[in-house]
């Protein structure tokens, strides 16, 4: 029996999309869905979504729910993790407190002080999930969607190296999708490879019938000056390889843009954008909950299938797929640090997720990745060692933070964020 467990099932929009994709596969229409959330109302909403989705698709899964994580994990074959520790209130703190110091962020869930403190809130729960899985369902795969992706996978590699875990993110796929649309080339005729770290990987190969598509992108950029007014286009023009996450994300992983008013204006950077996104998610949750209560059908239209359903389908059926996944760097990218998480192509079939060795990234790409990795490595070490000094050191070496604040300001900001998040931060890290 295939049991697919959703942790953080109350992330209703994402749960709806994953369920629609899963139950659209003929071979998965009779699986067991085990839904877990710590919020009773959200769990009830997730259950209603699952039942309505199954009804609309004519599927017949067994659906069970539990507020108890260990019970939800019983018999699990796959565990999809989409938790958000602290929810919207913690996100607001991660933006509003740094803003007082003049530190701009756009998304704040991957790097920078926002990413650091989101990681520190998430790590204890991740460790609990890993311990429970290794005890209750040791053969299950953890399919992680929770950000900060690289830090979370790096932390799991440090505290539970025996856990079968892969981080899934659609950024590489949607980057290629959008670029192909931009230059008018059918996506299904394109071959591509991305590698680096999550949210800062690089499109190393992008080809149509063996021909690189980068020259066509160059022509498009030359013909449309407004197109160059985006962070990713600016980075590509200077580095020679396209970064695989949005301009909003990319702007806060480097020291070049957010601290300068002129660059924010030139590149149309939406400062604080995730506060809007987070509020929109709350509004969407309320709308979906109310629609379900009123008996309205769910919108199950999907332009593309998410990675987790594809991974599960391949492992269950043997259909071979190639995706981009986040795993510990064990000889995969030679010029990035070992054991920290990297994003590389992976082959998926009945044998599981098997990452491909990439070798060395272009020197300039690896150089941009290394500060990103350093922030994550120090954050992971801070948690593993219970060392609050390393939290401050992670913020010190963060490119955007270091380009904006003095060292004393960084120290004060970390102190204030630590106090504001209270017991969401591990106890050893609460006092320096």
Q: Tens of pLDDT along 273-311? A: 888 888 888 888 888 888 889 888 888 887 778 999 999
Amino acid 390: pLDDT: 98
- Catalytic annotation, pick one of 88, 170, 177, 199: 170
Q: Is the pLDDT of residue 13 over 90?
A: no
Closest CA to 110 of 99, 100, 101, 119: 119
What Å distances lie between residue 69 and 36, 88, 134, 174, CA to CA? 6, 22, 13, 32
Instruction: Please give the share of the chain, as a percent, with pLDDT higher than 70.
Output: 100
Whether 48 is in a domain gets the answer yes
Q: Is the pLDDT of residue 101 over 80?
A: yes
Amino acid 281: pLDDT: 84
Q: Is the pLDDT of residue 219 over 90?
A: yes
Q: Which CATH number belongs to the domain containing residue 123 in this structure?
A: 3.40.50.720
Peptide bond into 148 cis (omega under 30): yes
Higher pLDDT, 135 or 279: 135
Whether 185 is in a domain gets the answer no
Whether 138 is in a domain gets the answer yes
- Look over the chain and give the mean of its residue pLDDT values, rounded to a whole number: 95
Q: Are 175 and 244 in contact (CB under 8 A)?
A: yes
Amino acid 155: pLDDT: 98
Whether 188 is in a domain gets the answer no
Binning pLDDT at 50, 70 and 90, where does residue 385 land? very high
What Å distances lie between residue 404 and 102, 255, 291, CA to CA? 8, 8, 45
**Lowest-confidence segment of 198-212, 240-254, 269-283 by average pLDDT:** 269-283
Q: Is the pLDDT of residue 242 over 90?
A: yes
Whether 348 is in a domain gets the answer no
Domain count, the chain: 1
Instruction: Please give the share of the chain, as a percent, with pLDDT higher than 90.
Output: 89
Amino acid 66: pLDDT: 97
Residue 85's domain comprises 3-167
Q: Is the pLDDT of residue 379 over 80?
A: yes
Whether 242 is in a domain gets the answer no
Whether 99 is in a domain gets the answer yes
Amino acid 183: pLDDT: 97
Amino acid 432: pLDDT: 79
Active site residue 199: no
Residues 6+ apart with CB under 8 A from 226: none
Q: Are 363 and 335 in contact (CB under 8 A)?
A: yes
Closest CA to 353 of 363, 340, 343, 361: 343
Amino acid 120: pLDDT: 98
Amino acid 301: pLDDT: 80
Mean pLDDT of 91-102: 96
Q: Is the pLDDT of residue 10 over 80?
A: no
pLDDT tens track for 41-79: 999 999 999 999 999 999 999 999 999 999 999 999 999
* Calpha distance 216→182 (Å, rounded): 10
Contacts 24+ apart (CB under 8 A), 315-320: 315/78, 315/141, 315/348, 315/349, 315/350, 315/352, 316/2, 316/27, 316/28, 316/350, 317/27, 317/350, 318/349, 318/350, 319/349, 320/347, 320/348, 320/349
Tokens of 402: 């270091």
Longest CA–CA separation in the chain, Å: 60
Whether 336 is in a domain gets the answer no
pLDDT tens track for 103-120: 999 999 999 999 999 999
């Amino acid at each position: 029996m295939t049991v697919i467990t959703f942790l953080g099932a109350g992330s209703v929009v994402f749960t709806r999309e994953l369920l629609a994709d899963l139950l659209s596969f003929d071979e998965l229409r009779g699986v067991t869905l085990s839904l877990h959330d710590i919020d009773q109302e959200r769990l009830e909403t997730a259950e209603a979504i699952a039942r309505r989705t199954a009804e609309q698709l004519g599927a017949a899964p067994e659906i069970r729910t539990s507020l108890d994580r260990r019970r939800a994990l019983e018999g699990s074959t796959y565990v999809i993790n989409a938790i958000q520790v602290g929810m919207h209130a913690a996100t607001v703190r991660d933006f509003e407190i740094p803003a007082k110091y003049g530190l701009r962020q756009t998304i704040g869930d991957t790097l920078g002080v926002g990413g650091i403190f989101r990681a520190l809130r998430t790590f204890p729960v991740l460790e609990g999930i890993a311990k429970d899985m290794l005890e209750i369902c040791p053969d299950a795969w953890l399919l992680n969607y929770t950000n900060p992706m690289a830090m979370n996978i790096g932390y799991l590699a440090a505290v539970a190296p025996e856990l079968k875990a892969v981080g899934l993110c659609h950024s590489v796929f949607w980057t290629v999708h959008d670029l192909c649309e931009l230059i008018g080339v059918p996506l299904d005729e394109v071959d591509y490879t991305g590698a680096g770290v999550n949210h800062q990987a690089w499109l190393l190969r992008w080809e149509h019938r063996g021909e690189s598509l980068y020259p066509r992108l160059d022509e498009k950029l030359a013909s449309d000056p407004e197109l160059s007014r985006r962070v990713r286009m600016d980075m590509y023009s200077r580095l020679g390889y396209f970064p695989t996450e949005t301009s909003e994300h990319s702007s806060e992983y480097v020291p070049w843009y957010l601290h300068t008013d002129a660059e924010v204006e030139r590149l149309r950077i939406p400062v604080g954008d995730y506060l809007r996104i987070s509020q929109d998610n709350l509004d969407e949750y309320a709308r979906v909950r109310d629609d379900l209560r009123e008996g309205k059908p769910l919108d199950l239209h999907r332009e593309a299938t998410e990675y987790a359903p594809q991974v599960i389908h391949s492992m269950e059926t043997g259909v071979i797929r190639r995706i981009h996944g986040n795993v510990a760097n064990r000889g995969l990218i030679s010029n990035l640090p070992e054991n920290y998480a990297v994003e590389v192509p992976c082959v998926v079939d009945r044998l599981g997720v098997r990452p491909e060795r990439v070798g060395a990234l272009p020197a300039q790409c690896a150089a941009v990745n290394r500060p990103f990795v350093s922030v994550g490595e120090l954050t992971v070490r801070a948690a593993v060692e219970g060392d609050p000094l390393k939290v401050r050191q992670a913020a010190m070496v963060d490119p955007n933070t270091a380009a904006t604040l003095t060292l004393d300001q960084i120290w004060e900001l970390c102190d204030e964020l630590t106090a504001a998040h209270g017991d969401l931060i591990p106890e050893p890290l609460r006092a320096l």
